[in-house]
Chains A and B, each alone.
Chain A
Amino acid sequence: MNLIVSSSPHIHGKDSVPKIMLHVILALLPAAAASIYFFGIRALWVMLVSIATAEISEYLFLLLRKKDTSAALDGSAFLTGLLLALTLPPSINLSMVAIGAAVAIIIAKQMFGGFGANIFNPALVGRAFLQAAFPIPMTTWVANRAAHIDATTVATPLGGFKFSHILTAHKDLLLGNVAGSLGETSALLLLLGGVYLLVRRYIDWRIPVGVLGSVAVFSGILWLANSNKYPDPVFMLLAGGLMLGAWFMATDPVTSPVSPAGIWIYSIGIGFFVVLIRVFGGMPEGVMYSILIMNSFVPLMDKYLRQRMLGEKK
């Protein structure tokens, strides 16, 4: 008889970190597969290079930090690689992809202390780095094969609106027959993945509701004030990286607040900045910066906002 003496509880629920990562990756697969359909085999290469670089960087830095290297297999680096790829233009040079993935893992994650210790969403830091380092390739968009356009480069729906005041049809935004980053084309497939995560309770419902709701409200106010000048809220919801950001980036547990009050401030803040940057900023899209800005408030919110305990004075 070899009895284990340990502290209760003696049973454990079914959730684990690798399992959550696996399901988030599964939820992204429809959008990832669609990107290959829309942009060809090139999209697959972008994803593969991003994921492979992320995994290798993770492994090497765990080794360097004298940590357990099997942590590289928990799925988090894979997910970061996949998420980064989905935010990149399909025509981007593959060496740039590798640089972005390495920055995401090494600078945004491992330098902060690895899994759980990072303040900013690693994939978005990788993308922000590429945006600053390679502004032209990061804003050159190839045509979507499903849209049947004979042109080498085209504008994204948000770019088209900002610079030429062209509104893309809602149907095309929903289905994904538009130009853009790998994973931001089909709002419908992203929604599908997001709802899957919601049903499995791997993400907090308040985050997509807060982000999408506040974008709808803020852009709706502008649209009602002047519908000629400002885009309609449905366009704002479906275009660009908002769906990917609201369901898969802003919901990253590590870089989002824990308390309900914090989550509402965080998610509404993201929606506010998205509308502000898209409508009044110099760039057509602002989801990435909005999330990164609000990420920076999370440690503060976790420190000062906590739910009232049962029986605690109001």
Chain B
Amino acid sequence: MIELAMRRGVHPPEGKLSAQKPIQDFPLPKQVVIPFSQHAGKPATPLVKKRQKVKTGEKIGEASGFISAPVHSSVTGTVKTLETVLLPNGSSALAAIITVEGEDQWAEPTWPVKELSSLTPDDLRTITREAGVVGLGGAVFPTSVKISPPKEYPIDSVIVNGAECEPYLTSDHRLMLEHTEEIFQAAQLLKMAVGAKRGYIAVEDNKRDAAEAFDKLVRGVADWEVVLLRTRYPQGAEKSLIKVILGREVPVGGLPFHVGALVQNVGTLYAVYEAAVKGIPLIKRVVTVTGEGVKEPSNFMTRIGTSARELLQAAGADLEAARKIIFGGPMMGMAVKSPDIPVLKSTSGILILSSVKKERVFPCLYCGKCVYACPLKITTTRLVKYIQAGMWDQAKAFGLFNCMECGVCSYVCPANIPLVHWIRYGKFMVRMMEAKQ
């Protein structure tokens, strides 16, 4: 086991209330809401109609391009209707609303389930594609695309991302403890699929038990190493991990394959295992339900499409006192208008905050705390001034589209300036203007 640490970023209070709570299977809901757009790229094309019967694991939406992913029914029942629903990020998308009718009847997988040792790289691309596996760390990028880099960029290192640097979230932690072997098997499969020479399993030191579990497993396995990282946010961001572990810098506007790296979240790897070994597509995931006023912070293995309200009620959340319901963690998660929003493939947690203060905003004092905390070394002070002044070319030159919105700058700002919000506004304005041209 090697120990490393990222130098920039921040270390907010960890708040991992549910770290000791084993994953519980969440009971079948009465109804699920499955949007056709749960991934980066084009929404899936619906394959079902109103009143159609569906089985658990049945493909109900087909990928509609290279960067897209299919979606599957997470239950057995009848499609009540197809309608537009609100997503956690505030946008809306077409969804299948399925009424659950009894226990699971499983649909046949649309990919061959074979002996693990006989799987080829192409098999894995088919499996991840057909099973609708996307990056569960938050970016929901289709995994099949990620493991198909251009030929001129050979991958030499695979990094298993178990950093889970967001405060409060423990879904990856529990998966690593309870499904260590499955995750490692899937990691070995993907390493084989991209032809990498080295593999690293990166875990932050507030999850030392998980790192040790992996260490026991990889000891004696050639080419694998566990990396214990000093807890720091946003260390689990791909670019941060690659910099810390491999010492390489992903070029601005580039992707990890440009520097020969593949980063896979542990949740994604578990989904790969389920698909390859059991023939189950991505229809459930671990969701941490936690926060202020939540009596029983929990980790639920949840069917995609389950309403957040049901999860919150099961965890004993005080919904009356809640001021914010957040899909995800407190640093990058999305505050939602109502608890009646379904769990998606990207939903790593549902967090309640009940003590939200409105802080006074001061003018920028150029203290540079944001600049020095930024993991991408963006000169935030200047970038935000350019955005506020509508100087878009300068803003782009100062890294407007390089920003990954990790939130570190806003977190440290003593003047309470909503820096990330300004950057989002800047991106929106530039995209809108470029679309008009």
* A contacts, CB < 8 Å to B: 1-13, 15-17, 19-20, 71, 74, 114-117, 204, 253-254, 256, 258-259, 302-303, 306-313
Contacts and interface: CB of A to CB of B under 8 A. Distances in A.
Given A17-B365, A310-B243, A311-B252, A7 B420 contact: yes
A71 to B, nearest CB: 8
A258 B371 contact: yes
B307 to A, nearest CB: 15
Contacts of B413: 13, 15
A9 B408 CA distance: 8
B378 to A, nearest CB: 6
A40 B402 CA distance: 58
Interface in B361-415: 362-369, 371, 375-379, 381-382, 398-399, 402, 405, 407-408, 410-415
Interface stretch (B17-25, B69-77, B111-119, B323-331): B323-331
Contacts, number: 152
B239 interface: yes
A10 B414 CA distance: 15
Dominant secondary structure at the B interface: loop
Which 3 A-B residue pairings sit nearest by Cβ, starting from the closest?
A9-B407, A116-B363, A253-B367
B69 to A, nearest CB: 24
Given A114-B363, A312-B252, A4 B412 contact: no
B368 A309 contact: no
A9 B359 contact: no
Contact of A11 (B167, B252, B334, B421): B167
B165 interface: no
Interface of B: 10, 12-13, 90, 167, 239, 243, 249-252, 254, 319-320, 322-326, 328, 330-338, 351, 353, 356, 359, 362-369, 371, 375-379, 381-382, 398-399, 402, 405, 407-408, 410-416, 418, 420-421, 424
A86 B402 CA distance: 45
Given A4-B323, A310-B376, A115 B365 contact: yes
Contact of A12 (B399, B402, B411, B421): B411
Given A9-B331, A13-B10, A13-B411, A309 B402 contact: yes
B368 A253 contact: yes
A56 to B, nearest CB: 21
Nearest to A256: B366
Contacts of B328: 8
A255 B302 CA distance: 53
B16 to A, nearest CB: 14
B407 A3 contact: no
